[in-house]
């Protein structure tokens, strides 16, 4: 019985046959190649097992969103993963921009590889969608990834969303709801040395009982993100047993100069910040 490949939609499967010999699975191909090594009687009595494995190549992440300025270059990094005994040359097709590399050779040693998708944002403001596809040698689409672009006009005084890496920002505002202080920690760790808190408003209400509610309102200005973290953490921990509703609004400006450069953020950090409202104004250079 020979190994055979089956195609179901975009998924290719391979069927392999094994004999259970001396408690181990032995591929029928190996038995036929070294037939003289095996006693005929043992082979006749050995159970035959059919094993089906998916031959899959996938790309991750499947989808991502960027806020961009007109004609800004974006470098989107992806990972190609192999599952099963897939082998061959994969072509990487994009409908916008270019992929580096645009061909990947997958052999038995391949586990994963990286691809950089370089996209130049359109000149006109608006919402755009771009697609990258992994294509097999026989023309099948194996996996796809999509980038959604929100291109903003430079003439807008204030913009909403997380500034991209390298954007020169005059001021940035973030509003965090609830007890989640991860956004503040991310901003502190990434930009604590180049920005200060121009203004902070922290509102918190705690229902201690059905009839009793405590309210706290704090304003701070011209302080560091460490100060904000310390104050907010202590208050939230102080009332951790009650039903807490909290809102923290920060306005961030550069410590020196007209603006600060937005640093590179990881996908996980972007995901955390994206849950809350972020607004910013581009600094004039």
Q: Which of 80-84, 124-128, 222-226, 281-285 has the highest mean pLDDT?
A: 222-226
Arithmetic mean of pLDDT over the chain: 84
Asked if 192 contacts 228 with a C-beta cutoff of 8 angstroms, the reply is no
For the cut 80, the answer to whether the pLDDT of residue 233 exceeds it is yes
The more confidently predicted of residues 157 and 257 is 257
The more confidently predicted of residues 210 and 110 is 110
For the cut 70, the answer to whether the pLDDT of residue 274 exceeds it is yes
Q: Which helix (H) or strand (E) holds 188?
A: helix 182-191
Q: Using the 3D structure, point to which of 89, 116, 151 is the last residue of a domain.
A: 151
In this prediction, residue 285 carries a pLDDT of 63
Task: For residues 245-271, give the mean pLDDT.
Answer: 92
| Same domain, yes or no: 68 and 45 | no
> Strand ranges (DSSP E) for the chain?
4-8, 11-21, 24-27, 48-60, 63-68, 73-83, 88-94, 98-100, 103-106, 112-120, 126-135, 141-151, 159-160, 168-177, 195-207, 213-220, 243-254, 260-261, 277-282
| Same domain, yes or no: 212 and 260 | yes
SS3 219: strand
Domain region containing 129? 57-151
For the cut 60, the answer to whether the pLDDT of residue 271 exceeds it is yes
In this prediction, residue 101 carries a pLDDT of 93
Of all residues in the chain, what percent carry a pLDDT higher than 70? 86
Confidence tier at 11 by pLDDT (50, 70, 90): low
| Same domain, yes or no: 51 and 61 | no
| Same domain, yes or no: 191 and 131 | no
* Domain of residue 113, CATH code: 2.60.40.2310
| Same domain, yes or no: 44 and 80 | no
| Same domain, yes or no: 81 and 120 | yes
Residue 101 phi/psi, 5° resolution?
-75, 170
| Same domain, yes or no: 233 and 278 | yes
* Pairwise CA distance, residues 97 & 206, whole Å: 51
Q: Using the 3D structure, point to which of 55, 71, 92 is the last residue of a domain.
A: 55
Task: For residues 248-267, give the mean pLDDT.
Answer: 92
- What are the pLDDT digits (tens) for 132-180? 999 988 888 888 999 988 887 654 567 889 988 888 999 999 999 888 8
| Same domain, yes or no: 68 and 144 | yes
Residue 242 phi/psi, 5° resolution?
-95, 175
Asked if 130 contacts 94 with a C-beta cutoff of 8 angstroms, the reply is yes
For the cut 70, the answer to whether the pLDDT of residue 3 exceeds it is no
In this prediction, residue 31 carries a pLDDT of 76
| Same domain, yes or no: 145 and 89 | yes
Tokens coding 60: 């991750």
In this prediction, residue 169 carries a pLDDT of 92
How many folded domains does the chain comprise? Answer: 3
Task: For residues 236-251, give the mean pLDDT.
Answer: 81
| Same domain, yes or no: 81 and 171 | no
Q: Using the 3D structure, point to which of 127, 151, 175 is the last residue of a domain.
A: 151
Q: Which of 36-45, 75-84, 200-209, 262-271 has the highest mean pLDDT?
A: 262-271
| Same domain, yes or no: 128 and 139 | yes
In this prediction, residue 265 carries a pLDDT of 92
- What are the pLDDT digits (tens) for 15-65? 677 778 777 788 777 777 887 887 888 777 788 777 666 657 788 888 888
* Pairwise CA distance, residues 244 & 223, whole Å: 25
3-state secondary structure 29-97: HHHHHCHHHCCHHHHHHCCEEEEEEEEEEEEECCEEEEEECCCCEEEEEEEEEEECCCCEEEEEEECCC
In this prediction, residue 8 carries a pLDDT of 59
Task: For residues 215-230, give the mean pLDDT.
Answer: 89
The more confidently predicted of residues 199 and 18 is 199
Nearest to 274 by CA among 67, 62, 63: 67
Q: Is 95 exposed, middle or buried (0-12, 13-18, 19+ CB in 10 A)?
A: exposed
| Same domain, yes or no: 33 and 146 | no
283 Cα distance to chain centroid: 28
List, in sequence order, every residue forming a beta bridge with 243; answer none if it has no partner. Answer: 207
Query: How many CA within 13 A on the CB side of residue 145?
Result: 26
């Amino acid at each position: 019985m020979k190994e055979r490949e089956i195609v179901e939609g975009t998924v290719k499967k391979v069927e392999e046959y094994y004999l259970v010999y001396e408690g181990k699975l032995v591929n029928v191909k190996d038995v036929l190649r070294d037939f003289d090594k095996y006693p005929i009687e043992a082979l006749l009595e050995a159970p035959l097992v059919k094993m089906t494995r998916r031959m899959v190549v996938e790309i991750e992440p499947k989808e991502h969103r960027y806020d961009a300025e007109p004609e800004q270059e974006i470098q989107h990094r992806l990972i190609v993963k192999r599952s099963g005994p897939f082998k061959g040359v994969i072509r990487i097709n994009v409908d916008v921009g270019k992929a580096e590399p645009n061909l990947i050779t997958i052999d038995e040693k391949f586990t994963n590889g990286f691809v950089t998708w370089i996209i130049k944002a359109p000149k006109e403001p608006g919402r755009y969608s771009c697609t990258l596809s992994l294509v097999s040698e026989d023309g099948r689409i194996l996996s796809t990834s999509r980038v959604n672009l929100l291109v903003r006009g430079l003439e807008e005084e204030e913009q909403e969303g997380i500034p991209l890496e390298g954007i020169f920002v005059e001021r940035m505002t973030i509003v965090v709801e609830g007890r989640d202080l991860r956004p503040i920690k991310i901003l502190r760790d990434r930009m604590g040395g180049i920005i200060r808190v121009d203004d902070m408003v922290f509102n918190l209400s705690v229902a201690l009982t059905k009839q009793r509610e405590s309210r706290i309102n704090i304003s701070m200005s011209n302080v560091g993100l460490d100060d904000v973290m310390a104050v907010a953490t202590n208050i939230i921990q102080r009332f951790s047993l009650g039903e807490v509703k909290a809102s923290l609004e920060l306005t961030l400006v550069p410590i020196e100069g007209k603006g600060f450069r937005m640093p590179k953020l990881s996908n996980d950090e972007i995901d955390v910040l994206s849950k809350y409202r972020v607004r910013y104004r581009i600094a004039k250079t």
